[in-house]
Amino acid sequence: MLSLLWLIPTLPMLSSLLLMLGAGRFTRHTSALLGVGSVGLSALIAFAIALSFDTTTVYQHTLWQWFSVGALTPNIAFYLDGLSLVMMLVVTGVGFLIHLYASGYMYNDPDYSRFFASMNLFLAAMLILVLADNLVLLYLGWEGVGLCSYLLIGFWYKDPANGQAARKAFVMTRVGDTAMAIGLFLLFRELGTLNIAELMTAASTRWPEGSPTATLAALLLLGGAVGKSAQLPLQSWLPDAMAGPTPVSALIHAATMVTAGVYLIARHHALFLLSPLAMDSVALVGLITLLIAGFSALVQTDIKRILAYSTMSQIGYMFLALGVGAWSAAIFHLVIHALFKALLFLSAGSIILALQHKQEISEMGGLSRHMPFIFGCFLIGSACLAALPFTSGYFSKEPILIQAWLQSPMLWFGGLLGALITALYSFRLIFVVFFGPLHTEPSGLKLPAVVALRMPLALSILALLSLLGGFLDLPLATVLPTTSGHPPLLIEAINTLVPLFGVLACYSLYHRNPALRQRLIQLPGSQALRRFWLNGWGADHLYDLLFRRPFLWMARINQADIADSLSRGITQLSRYSHLLLVEVQSGQIRWYASIMAIGVAFFIGLGVLT
Amino acid sequence: MLTLLLIVLFTGAALAWCAQYWRPHDGPRAVALMTLITALLLMLPLAANTANGAFIAALDETWLVLEQTPWIPRFGIQWLVAIDGMSLLLILLTLVLGLIAVAASWREIEQRQGFFYFNLLGCLAGVVGVFSALDLFLFFFFWEVMLIPVYFLIAIWGHEARHYAALKFFIFTQASSLLMLISILGLAYLHQQENGFYSFSYFELLGSGSRSPHHFWLMLGFFIAFMVKLPAFPFHTWLPDAHTQAPTAGSIILAGVLLKTGAYGLIRFLIPLFPDSQVSFAPWGMAIGVAGILYGAILAFAQYDLKRLIAYTSISHMGFILLGVYAWNALALQGAVMQMLTHGFSAAALFMIAGAIQHRIHTRDMRAMGGLWPQVPRMAAISLFFVMASLGIPGLGNFIAEFLVLTGSFQVSRTATVLAAGGLVGAAIYSLIMIQKVFHGQASTSHTLADFDRRELSSMTVMMLALLALGLYPQPVINLLQPVLDELLLLNTPLPMRIVGVTP
């Protein structure tokens, strides 16, 4: 079974290639069969491998040697251990459900096969990323993910705003990618290999703890991770990435792309463990991002943007977990988050579809009676997101907070505050969208019955998994260092009660007692704060001022290429002197004669005088 | 056989001109096509042999073919042509892109077809000569031979400001190559001083430049000639004009092949002749390379003219070659040569696309484009492919090239590499804005355009497959280059540190 591992990324890749070459000539049915089927097959193989794979071992499979120059000899080779197994299952499993859903959601889009071509390529790139046995191949997947996110965010290319969002995502993540590439150059220069396993062994044997080179390398990799995972300071592309179709958002937020950074750091934990500074940076980046994203999510009015900020915030929890050394907890939260975030996005997609592509939550309301199934799904997703007791989100977030407490009460308090905010914004969404008066009448979908069924099917499976996900036992013990230690019972009790308090507060503000909310809104400065949070803490403005405008300015003033002025100057000079000399050629004898006389007189004078 | 190849190309050029008088509409282009196919068939056995590892050892195992006859014995000038793995690859690139250029001109060129193909083939012959000549005088001869046809290509079949562009191109390259001529004569004179007879032979002059008291100035003569050709900042300004005004085939040959002669000159002649300069001049060389990468990227973004944009991207990409050459280690040199090949394909393809768009909507101004995707989906998707290649998406050849250059140069200079890596971000910015302006958005005007036809599609397919092959399995190319580059690296190993690939 293990020998089929290479098929897992290859199948979606092939299907993507076929769909591209088909250039829109396939019928919807064939496109869906290829697009969804290939991913389904990959998922099946992945699960079959998971059943038979002994996670205390490692499986490597080399397809061919990519290139070999001196000591740089990366292979096209896959590496399977507990960590990549978990990632592979999430990517193929959740990816398949999103594809299944998308085959219904996108049914009426004219570019159905282009959509699946990009989606499949996205999944293939992500699978290469998590299965790569060396950093060069990982970088291939890494860049491939960036490329596909560009293709999919800008999928509806007719609106320039979508193109803008797609370019923003690509360029911002490329900034991170470039930092990561420099990290690769550094690692290769210092350790002479880019094979991940060899690299980690070499790093831990050759570098002492706290070595500045290790810190630099780890920070450069962190640069790559914050780009792809939308963490501070490269976070602001994610909310705009909502320009793509909703299943794309689900894919970016749940199964692919944003989890890549978390995986990268977990994969290189041996390197990060060498550098306390790098670890602290990871934790701090996570903490700050989870808070600012949480506050932003509180005031957003677009359902997808709320979810986007919540992703940013939840990835922040994963970074916090990585930074405090709770490696398995980070990956566990990644898995659980993938399940409930896919559920939330796809449910939101169903709402958006039913409301004729309205995304503002002010235009929703009272949907619990009209869309009970979606309400149920959304409620499950939100409960997990808010980490209410006994949901899967509770089981995955609790270890993070505990480990944070053991590391530093400050980090714990930040995380706890984040948990409160999470509960607030997720249930604000529930109360505004599903309760209160009905603003827009949901309409039925114009889809063939078989196709329309795929969406609730995917949602039900995701809802079930989100409910039961807490009981999963991930085979990470052999790959990632384990943590131990118990906090006081009081801390655990607080961790459990805070989200409940958040939900109650929300209930009172948005359902029971709206007058209280009005009074809050009228507090001085609250509007300014709201706008500040709404715009993501002004990150866009800041980057606009610091980078975009200077770049545009440089481009504009030098559009004609200043380096050309020398040759243009010479041209001008010879043209002017030409005009000057033309004047001399007047054709008049007396003019020539007088010039000659003056010249002769001048030279005689010169001869006499010297 | 090399001599035969050159004869075939020159004869083909003459025949194409004559064919004008027999069949003015399709004679010349058919002759050009046949000539290039014959030339490729001539090279094929060699390429196949090399792939098998059966080297035709002439001098030593790096030279695959070497042909030598005295030409002007009094001055020690000889007909010395030889190829090694690097030359072989570049000649193959030249011939393939020559075919693509013929395909691109198939319908575009109606006026004076015979003279057009005469110039096209003449230029290609000159380039093949440049890539194979090992006598410096002969090298200079071919260097000039490839120039003049390009002047005519731009001046006769170019666009609105063709005379200005052609003249600028001619003056820039001519002035710089005269400097090179002085340096060549200086080296020959130096040889006469030392050994009592003149020689222009590469093998006899190797390393001799560094022994001259005026070695810096002699080196500079070569350096400027190659910089202008590459082109490197700040000698690049002829390129945007020449590209913009040239007919599509001219742009393809310019970007795909002609620029590479500058890079080839650096690797083959400048550093082997002046080994010391590699050490003393390297910081300058790398700095100019980095400046070109960043400057080209910013200016590319600023352009409205599609062809001008692509021209500036070429300047940016050529900076990587300069950086790699002056880093002078196995990784960086492999990357530099790889960049010559991959940029050859990606830039040629982009220029062909720009030409195809101009042919259809009669403008190169991107402000007049937009929303072309639904009308020409195949062209758009293929453009996206080449844009992604040029911004260095892994899996395509350009990534391997840039990755190798940067990995290699990082061993030598961290600062230069980190700055150069900024070019990766720049590439993303200018490439994507181009796709946005041309293909995305709402259709600005109601053009009804024809998508790529079979001729264009097959040209594009060839280049796409080449880039994919170079990106996914570049090892055959690397193996072909390895002995050549090892030999070159042995020429000057002034610092023990410089042997890279084996780092402690």
Contact A561 B439 (CB under 8 A): no
Average confidence (pLDDT) over B203-222: 84
Contact B237 A561 (CB under 8 A): yes
- How far does the CA of residue B78 sit from the closest CA of chain A (Å)? 36
DSSP B340-391: HHHHHHHHHHHHHHHHHHHHHHS--BGGG----TTTSHHHHHHHHHHHHHHT
Q: What is the DSSP letter of A560?
A: T
Contact A555 B439 (CB under 8 A): no
- What is the pLDDT, as a whole number, of residue A112? 86
Mean pLDDT of chain B: 86
Minimum-distance CB partner of B417 among A143, A185, A554 = A185
Contact A72 B442 (CB under 8 A): no
Average confidence (pLDDT) over B138-145: 92
- DSSP bridge pairs for B133: B81
What is the C-alpha separation between A556 and A559, in angstroms, rounded?
5
Contact A170 B502 (CB under 8 A): no
- What is the pLDDT, as a whole number, of residue B444? 67
- What is the pLDDT, as a whole number, of residue B360? 84
Residue to mutate among A561, A562, A565, A575, with most B CBs inside 10 A, is A561
Reply yes or no on whether the pLDDT at B48 is more than 80: no
What is the residue type of B274?
Answer: F
Q: Which of B313, B486, B465, B491 is nearest to B402 (CA)?
A: B313
Residue to mutate among B227, B312, B369, B432, with most A CBs inside 10 A, is B432
Question: Residues A334, A262: contact at Cβ < 8 Å?
Answer: yes
Q: What is the pLDDT of residues B360-394, one digit of tens each?
A: 888 888 888 888 888 888 888 999 999 999 998 99
Minimum-distance CB partner of B302 among A147, A558, A563 = A558
Helix (H) or strand (E) holding A474: none
Measured between CB atoms, does B237 come within 8 Å of chain A? yes
- What is the pLDDT, as a whole number, of residue B346? 93
Q: Which of residues 460-489 of B touch A (CB under 8 A)?
A: 472-475, 478
Reply yes or no on whether the pLDDT at B502 is more than 50: no
Question: Residues B371, B443: contact at Cβ < 8 Å?
Answer: yes
Contact B407 A555 (CB under 8 A): no
CB atoms < 10 A from the CB of B485, how many? 25
- How far does the CA of residue A177 sit from the closest CA of chain B (Å)? 9
- What is the pLDDT, as a whole number, of residue B314? 92
Measured between CB atoms, does B497 come within 8 Å of chain A? no
Q: What is the pLDDT of residues B266-279, one digit of tens each?
A: 999 988 888 888 78
The lowest-confidence range among A140-144, A359-363, B405-409, B427-431 is A359-363
Contact list, B441 vs chain A (CB under 8 Å): 157-160, 163
Q: What is the pLDDT of residues A75-92, one digit of tens each?
A: 999 999 889 999 999 999
Q: What is the pLDDT of residues A90-124, one digit of tens each?
A: 999 999 999 999 988 888 888 888 899 999 999 99
Closest residue on chain B to A69 (Cα)? B331
Burial tier of A399 (Cβ tally within 10 Å: 0-12, 13-18, 19+): middle
Contact A67 B433 (CB under 8 A): no
- What is the pLDDT, as a whole number, of residue B129? 93
Q: Point out the residues of chain A with pLDDT beneath 50.
A: none
Reply yes or no on whether the pLDDT at B106 is more than 50: yes
- What is the pLDDT, as a whole number, of residue B85? 85
Q: Which of residues 166-185 of B touch A (CB under 8 A)?
A: 168, 172
- How far does the CA of residue A482 sit from the closest CA of chain B (Å)? 33
- DSSP bridge pairs for A60: A79
What is the band of B445 on the pLDDT scale with cuts at 50, 70, 90? low
Q: What is the pLDDT of residues B62-84, one digit of tens each?
A: 778 888 888 888 888 888 888 88
What is the band of B495 on the pLDDT scale with cuts at 50, 70, 90? very low
Chains A–B, number of C-beta pairs less than 8 Å apart: 143
Average confidence (pLDDT) over B183-204: 87
Contact list, A148 vs chain B (CB under 8 Å): none
Contact B394 A136 (CB under 8 A): yes
Measured between CB atoms, does B430 come within 8 Å of chain A? no
Q: What is the pLDDT of residues B462-490, one digit of tens each?
A: 999 999 999 999 988 888 888 888 888 88
Selected residue with higher pLDDT from B445 and A486: A486
Contact B472 A69 (CB under 8 A): no
ipTM value of the model? 0.90
DSSP B198-262: ---BHHHHTTGGGGSTTHHHHHHHHHHHHHHHTT-TTSTTHHHHHHHHS-HHHHHHIIIIIHHHH
- How far does the CA of residue B310 sit from the closest CA of chain A (Å)? 14
CB atoms < 10 A from the CB of B371, how many? 18
- How far does the CA of residue A171 sit from the closest CA of chain B (Å)? 6
Contact list, B425 vs chain A (CB under 8 Å): 171, 174-175, 178
